[in-house]
Structure 1
Amino acid sequence: MLMASTTQSLEKGVEVTRNSESLAIKARVLTGINEMLKRDFGSVAQEVIRSVINLCVMEWFWGADDSMWAHLRGMKHMINLRSGLRGIKDIVGESIIILHVA
């Protein structure tokens, strides 16, 4: 939903940071990620890391560099908490992370 909303904004020539709908959806996404982080990290790490990867890609697309770099740092910290990329035990997610973090 977030990607669709922001893409629609950009197609209309509206900056994402000025689109209240996109900002509201992003706030819900961030709230969901934060709620998942409050749970047992081991059971949700793959989903959280995938969500943050998607968020970083969208922020890169929007040109939201400060936010993107903050989320990348958080993702790297989550990967370290899982004992590195091999600790994730998810081939698809691991491949995506290698492409985006490298």
Structure 2
Amino acid sequence: MEMAKVLIVEGSSDRKKVKKIISEPVEILCTNGTIGVQKMDEIVDEYFDRDVFVLADADDAGDRLRSLFKKEFPEARHLFIDRAYREVAAAPDQHIAAVLLHANIDVHKEFLA
């Protein structure tokens, strides 16, 4: 079954973190930090007709990833964590849940505090 929403994160710890919070079927892709032109082309080709969200860390590497997506995949929506947390994996579950909910991604109720 093809999921309508795709969430792109940087690392596997980010994926693990958001996976436990999200309560609807969302495909979660890991870029493992950097992403090459070929991989970006594959993502654009495969997901152009889906709701794509980018949730990157609030650091230089995350900014570079966002910049690349804004240029190559302008339809993607960017979700932002508070810069104080720096990393998605380090942000409190409730904060991540609020960010996801604001983007109309359903989350488990226990993370809404």
TM category (shorter chain) comes to 0.3 to 0.5
| Larger RCO: 1 or 2 (CA < 8 Å, sep 6+) | 2
TM-score by length of 1: 0.33
Question: Based on CA coordinates, which of the two structures has the bigger radius of gyration?
Answer: 1
TM-score by length of 2: 0.30
Relative to total residues, which structure has the larger strand share, 1 or 2? Answer: 2
